[in-house]
Amino acid sequence: QQQQQQEPAKPVPPPPEVTVPYLLVGGGTAAHFAVLGILSRDASAEILIVSEEDVRPYQRPPLSKQMWFSREDHSDKFIDWEGQPREIFFLGDSVYKKLEDTTEMGTGPNVYLVNNRKVEELNIGQRYAVLNDGRIVRFNKCLLATGGTPKNIPQLETADSAVRQRTILFRTLNDFHTLEKLVQQNKSVAVVGGGFLGSELSVALASQGKGKVTQIVADDGILSRVLPRYLSVWVAKKIAEYGVDIKTGAKVDSASMEGKQVALELSSGEKVKADVVLVAVGINPNIDLAKKARLEIDDRLGGVVVNSELEARSGVFVAGDVCSFYDITLGRRREEHHEHAVVSGRLAGENMAGAHKPYWHQSLFWSDIGEKVSFEAIGLVDSSLPTLSIWAKGNKETPVITTEDSPAAETNATSDKDGQDVSSADFSPVVDSQAAAEADAEYEKGIVLYLRDNKAVGVVAWNLPNKIPVARKLIREQREVFSAADLAKLFNLYPKSKDGTDE
């Protein structure tokens, strides 16, 4: 019997080319607000978002905050600070059109969203991009809002596959859902990292009352690259009160399987066993596409260099985590915070539509670590700088003042503030008040100033909401720091109560 010969498979033709005025590479916060910026000036805009994720743009901060504490029935809704229910997604699914549906192209405004796709090539001179499915997108203006990729540590990257399968690099909504399922199964978690994300998640996980939570921190305190040493140690104590077993000054030397658990050998000689390892040691900006497109890369900060209008080359703009911008007060910077993504994304969008506005905004960031630690910050918040702290412990006439003086240690701006391989600065605290030096001191509300040439370059408002406008003005004006009493008055540490007395 002769075998029936099969005809050779016909090659699959590449998807048809698409032409849009505005191409946004990346589907996060910066891209969403760029859409709003474009539409504010071009009401009939045709916009294409290319996202590597499988969902529409959403907010990242709630993934380590409200989604653990005020979630509505395991949905993607949470209760915000004003007690109102909110969706984690910026806009409803019906807002976005499929790229296959081009019948309405040219009848904008239209926002097209392509999920699970990556831009592999960006030809700036000829104004086209090539997606990883072969599709060619021709554009007039392009935004790079590629964000960042979570870092890992070598000891876990090179471990066997069973260890890697039990390791989560937390970044996305899918990561949140994966971690939540594991927590509901009473799995124990080892959190590697002592920065914002690692600390927020440690408290969030411990507050669920399920499996044991261990936090492994390479430095000698929590947020030690950000906070003065005394405050870093105090925050560690507050986190421990939630039941988190904190291992400070400990690096992961090796990782292996012991039974069904991951065993982490620490530099301290201790061994930590956990069902899941959660790594939160910062991100690397996604600059590969920009490199291939021969855009200028900031060797020190790691981002894509832009001008004052967030433009890297004519018609190519950059926003969010990957943007290296010039701060007229503090010099060239790269920020990895939500508000920066919001403001830079919107401004880039407006400029793509012809606004020509400079980016001068000092973005804030915030963190909530349990019930007793909540702060907002702005500027250069770096613990290697000298700090002046004022705390509302005394009264209006005699505020308690502490200063943290640290040597001008050489720091690499591209180093990982939470990572394993970054050594701590050697601090020598100088405290102006014995009350502030007490081991059981409480830091309920206060202001921390970060100084350079005796001028404020950064501010942390500790449990003091709505102080950022004052801080922003203080940094912008670059006045020399005056007396602590005037500083307490400026930030209103002792507000009047309704009956007129000092609170």
In this structure, how many other beta carbons lie within 10 angstroms of the beta carbon of residue 500? 6
Per-chain mean pLDDT for the chain: 86
Reported as a single tens digit per residue, the pLDDT across 92-122 is 999 999 987 666 677 779 999 999 999 999 9
85-87 vs 77-79, strand pairing mode: antiparallel
Residues in the chain, total? 503
Q: Highest mean pLDDT range out of 74-88, 354-368, 379-393?
A: 354-368
Whether the per-residue pLDDT at 423 is higher than 50: the answer is no
393 sits in which H/E element: none
- Distance CA(50)–CA(31), nearest Å, equals 10
Q: Please, which pLDDT band fits residue 379 given cuts at 50, 70 and 90?
A: very high
Reported as a single tens digit per residue, the pLDDT across 320-356 is 999 999 998 899 999 999 999 999 999 999 999 999 9
Whether the per-residue pLDDT at 375 is higher than 90: the answer is yes
* CA 174 from centre of chain: 17
Predicted local distance difference test score (pLDDT) of residue 433: 36
Q: Please, which pLDDT band fits residue 410 given cuts at 50, 70 and 90?
A: very low
The dihedral built from the CA positions of residue 430, 436, 442 and 446, taken in this order, carries a sign that is negative
Predicted local distance difference test score (pLDDT) of residue 397: 55
Q: Please, which pLDDT band fits residue 439 given cuts at 50, 70 and 90?
A: very low
Reported as a single tens digit per residue, the pLDDT across 167-196 is 999 999 999 999 999 999 999 999 999 999
Q: Which of 67-76, 163-172, 258-267, 338-347 is predicted with the least confidence, judged by mean pLDDT?
A: 67-76
- Distance CA(76)–CA(59), nearest Å, equals 11
Q: Please, which pLDDT band fits residue 147 given cuts at 50, 70 and 90?
A: very high
Number of helices (H), then strands (E), belonging to the chain: the values are 12, 30
Residues in Cβ contact with 208 at an 8 Å cutoff, skipping those fewer than 6 apart? 68, 183
Are the C-beta atoms of 114 and 54 separated by less than 8 Å? no
Whether the per-residue pLDDT at 493 is higher than 80: the answer is no
> 359, exposed or middle or buried, with CB in 10 Å at 0-12, 13-18, 19+?
buried
- Mean per-residue pLDDT for 461-468? 92
Q: What percent of the chain has pLDDT over 70?
A: 84
Q: What is the pTM of this model?
A: 0.87
- Distance CA(261)–CA(274), nearest Å, equals 5
